[in-house]
Amino acid sequence: MQATELHQLTIHEAHELLKQRKTSSLELTKSVLKRINDVEGRVRACVTIAEDIALKEADKVDAYMRAGHEITPLTGIPALIKDVICTKGIKTTCSSKMLQNFVPPYDATVIEKLNAQKAVIVGKTNMDEFAMGSSTEHSAFFATHNPWDLSRVPGGSSGGSAVAVSTDEAIYALGSDTGGSIRQPAGFCSVVALRPTYGRVSRFGLLAFASSLDQIGPMTKDVTDCALVMNAIAGHDPRDSTSVPHPVPDYAQHLVPDIKGLKIGIPGEYLVEGMQTEVRAALERAVDKLQELGAEVDWGVSLPHTKYALAAYYIIAPSEASANLARYDGVKYGFSAGNASNVIQATERTRQFGFGPEVKRRIMLGTYALSAGYYDAYYVKAQQVRTLIKQEFDQVLQRYDALVTPTSPTVPFKLGEKLEDPMQMYLSDICTLPISIAGIPAISIPAGFADNLPIGMQIIGKPFSEGVLLRIAFAYEQATDWHSRKPPLS
């Protein structure tokens, strides 16, 4: 695709222009800010637009580049960040009333890493409150709209980031994924997004939802950009004890359009009941394409424990959330209800008014599952199931380089359609949850449309096989043009 305006560029295209001094960081940043101004009224992807900070930073980066310093792939390039990742001096709200005015005194490690490359952070994106949800309708502030059809959801919880990338409000974005929150909205908005292996990217400064599941990952316009952002954010961090001290490969080296002989399996359990026929048809076409490109495809893979993933996730994630969210007591930081006659009442009122209904539902579920008498029956059982799911993936992935599934069972649903029925909402993550439970990586890439609504393909791999996933995704992307289609927003 030949981009006509600066905000339409990918990271690698913008980088080339910066290197050749054909544009500046300031021009890029201004173009993105103008785009935000033009489309935000319709899509509402952003919670905070840090215009002054971004313009000042872009100016500084331009001076730095003019002085002849080395330009790395993200230097001078404007990004938006999901509002669950701490940005020093820029509000980080988690789309919650609880943190509506919270300005972190420090940067998350991923932000430090972007800053080390002199990236330009333009603002923060809307999300489901505390990343709990699949539609971005659980934001305490406003819902975000899908740019492919404004009456539909963008997915969630990283809906703002997905929309921002798809509408060119940012050159790229960061999201976070606990049970699918990077991949599902990427599928719904037709962008590329990678959930890294658990431990690959530091969680320091990521406001915790479920610590054994949360991971930060890139949301980008193409697979090449995804590799470039991974290069920047991956790696060990002594401040996150779950981050893994594996060396980080150069993911860009994996971008070769050759998948001859790679073994790709399609697990039958992911072609679930209730899956839309168009989604299944798109997956079949995508798999045919992979086969045409030389992959050895097997439709006979089975992961029978998949059916327990949703139940296990909705015990484990809320349990961890109930512990993590105990810190919001109105004393240390964030919202404080005031007007209470004692400390218990103050805490109760703070939590009553500070948290929205979905967050309360999770805290109650988790507290129940962890309470004496139920702990063994629910929490321990769910952890045992988790181990079985993980072992099953490990075994199957000994025989295959990757597994392929749809990212979601349906195309984006209507705003409001699942809001009153938590179970229906939870089911929209049925294809992404098991991967989170197993701690393995998966990428979602654009793989077609049904009536102009996006369909995503998920490619799943062994721990630390992000390079293989990027290679398959890259080969598919080179052979198709889904990723270059843009939503019908003028």
User: Out of 168, 169, 429, 466, which residue is the one contacting ligand GLN (CB under 6 A)?
Assistant: 429
Identified catalytic residue from 24, 30, 31, 82: 82
**Rounded distance between C-alpha atoms, residue 409 and residue 415, angstroms:** 17
458 in Cβ contact with 407 (< 8 Å): yes
Instruction: Tell me whether residue 74 or residue 438 sits nearer to ligand GLN (CB atom).
Output: 438
Instruction: Tell me whether residue 109 or residue 436 sits nearer to ligand GLN (CB atom).
Output: 436
**CB-based contacts of 286, cutoff 8 Å, min separation 6:** 404, 447, 448, 457, 476
Using CB under 6 A as the binding criterion, the count of chain residues that bind ligand GLN stands at 13
Could you count the other beta carbons within 10 Å of the beta carbon of residue 64?
16
Please report, as residue ranges, which positions from 283 to 342 form the binding site for ligand GLN (by CB under 6 A): 317
User: Out of 31, 181, 231, 465, which residue is the one contacting ligand GLN (CB under 6 A)?
Assistant: 181
CB of 178: closest distance to ligand GLN in angstroms? 3
User: Out of 104, 180, 196, 330, which residue is the one contacting ligand GLN (CB under 6 A)?
Assistant: 180
CB of 385: closest distance to ligand GLN in angstroms? 17
User: Out of 177, 320, 466, 477, which residue is the one contacting ligand GLN (CB under 6 A)?
Assistant: 177
Structure letter (DSSP) for residue 124: E
Instruction: Tell me whether residue 134 or residue 220 sits nearer to ligand GLN (CB atom).
Output: 134
Instruction: Report which of 132, 101, 110 is spatially closest to residue 358, judged by C-alpha positions.
Output: 132
Residue 181 appears among annotated catalytic residues: yes
Identified catalytic residue from 135, 139, 157, 176: 157
123 in Cβ contact with 46 (< 8 Å): yes
317 in Cβ contact with 213 (< 8 Å): yes
CB of 195: closest distance to ligand GLN in angstroms? 9
89 in Cβ contact with 123 (< 8 Å): no
Please report, as residue ranges, which positions from 129 to 158 form the binding site for ligand GLN (by CB under 6 A): 131-134, 157
Please report, as residue ranges, which positions from 81 to 120 form the binding site for ligand GLN (by CB under 6 A): none
Indicate whether 363 belongs to the interface with ligand GLN (CB under 6 A): no
CB of 177: closest distance to ligand GLN in angstroms? 5
**Rounded distance between C-alpha atoms, residue 92 and residue 104, angstroms:** 7
φ, ψ of residue 447 in degrees (nearest 5): -140, 20
Indicate whether 179 belongs to the interface with ligand GLN (CB under 6 A): yes
Whole-Å CA distances, 201 to 106, 111, 235, 236, 435:
18, 12, 6, 7, 16
Instruction: Tell me whether residue 36 or residue 219 sits nearer to ligand GLN (CB atom).
Output: 219
Instruction: Report which of 355, 356, 378, 376 is spatially closest to residue 365, judged by C-alpha positions.
Output: 378
CB of 127: closest distance to ligand GLN in angstroms? 8
Indicate whether 434 belongs to the interface with ligand GLN (CB under 6 A): no
Instruction: Tell me whether residue 429 or residue 477 sits nearer to ligand GLN (CB atom).
Output: 429
φ, ψ of residue 374 in degrees (nearest 5): -105, -15
CB of 278: closest distance to ligand GLN in angstroms? 22
141 in Cβ contact with 101 (< 8 Å): no
The residues that are catalytic are 82, 157, 181
Residues within the interface to ligand GLN (CB under 6 A): 131-134, 157, 177-181, 209, 317, 429
